[in-house]
Chain A
Amino acid sequence: MKRVFLFLPLLAALILGIVLFAGIGKDTQTLESALVGKPVPAFELTDLHAPENTLSQNLFQGKVHLLNVWATWCPSCRDEHQDLMWLAHNQGVPIIGLNYKDDRAKALTWLKRLGNPYTAVIHDPKGTLGFDLGVYGAPETFVIDAKGTVRFRHVGVVNQRVWENELLPVINDVKESG
């Protein structure tokens, strides 16, 4: 019986090793969105390209969208821009942009210079919709289903790998389950 006690530290070390190993490679900065399963929060904000038009959460009805939170002051947003262009124009993915805490003129110039992957861009200069969505840093990309419910959030740049491993599977799931 006393021999068993000799092995306890070894067992503890093994368990600790397994637990710690399971955490390797996981991004500690990523938080799961608290809005998964909830509808896009109600909002009334202007269209970036047409300030006289007001956009609301009804923008998302009818088909599955990606909602991409971006800003001209965000360097990673610049990095993912080409990938978003590819998604929008080569893969036919409808992307709605949320211009977060940004200057309208700067944002318009940016899009004109680099190209516009968005079917519509919401101008959120105070970040109120961003705050309600639980955005804590740009870029972030949400998958919204055809009923306007948030189904998934990715924090960080969207690239080929993220598209294939994270976003596309969710979109396919959402389209199947409706």
Chain B
Amino acid sequence: MRRALFLLVIFSVSGFVSADVANVYNFDTAQQEQRFQKLAEELRCPKCQNQNIADSGAPIAKDMRDEVYRMMGAGASDEDIMNALVARFGEFVRYKPQVEKRTLLLWATPFIAVFGGLLIVVGVVIRSRRSADHEPALTAGQKARAEKILAESKQGNNV
């Protein structure tokens, strides 16, 4: 029991562990450290393509982090830094794709899917409610037949 509790505690706090890449570099202010961390999280490692450069251990990710740090020190803006890295490695390194004609469908699809799903749900609900109002489950003739069968079976049971 104690073991289970121990494991539970360990696993629940393990979610808060994250490698803070900014600690490897020296920053003058906490703000700068945060800015670096944010930039590192918005840039994708071109080698380990499902990781940002903050998380990736690949050599190219380290080179990119070094460059971000160097450019920050040289006074470049966030946009300058992103553009410089995109100029070398392509749009792919932007973790958040830019909203432009090419990526419009990429951005719009979740909204289209959810909206479309909602329309379908609403359509189904309206249609089923409409049929429940106007069309009874049995016609008058079928209802009479059903009552007759029920009456006969009751008589049969009483015998």
Contact = CB atoms under 8 A, between A and B. Distances in A.
Interface string A124-167: 00010001111111000000000000000000000000000000
Contacts of A137: 47, 60
A28 B117 CA distance: 31
A33 interface: yes
B63 interface: yes
Interface residues of A, number: 16
Contact of A34 (B49, B63, B67, B89): B89
B88 interface: yes
A137 B89 CA distance: 12
Contact of A33 (B49, B59, B86, B90): B90
A11 interface: no
Interface in B78-97: 86-92
B49 A29 contact: yes
A29 B89 CA distance: 13
Interface string B88-131: 11111000000000000000000000000000000000000000
Interface residues of B, number: 14
A101 interface: yes
Nearest to A28: B49
A136 B86 contact: no
Nearest to B60: A136
Nearest to A2: B127
Given A136-B47, A137-B47, A31 B88 contact: no
A35 interface: yes
Interface of A: 28-29, 31-35, 101, 127, 131-137
9 contacts: A31-B89, A33-B90, A34-B86, A34-B88, A132-B88, A133-B88, A134-B88, A134-B90, A136-B46
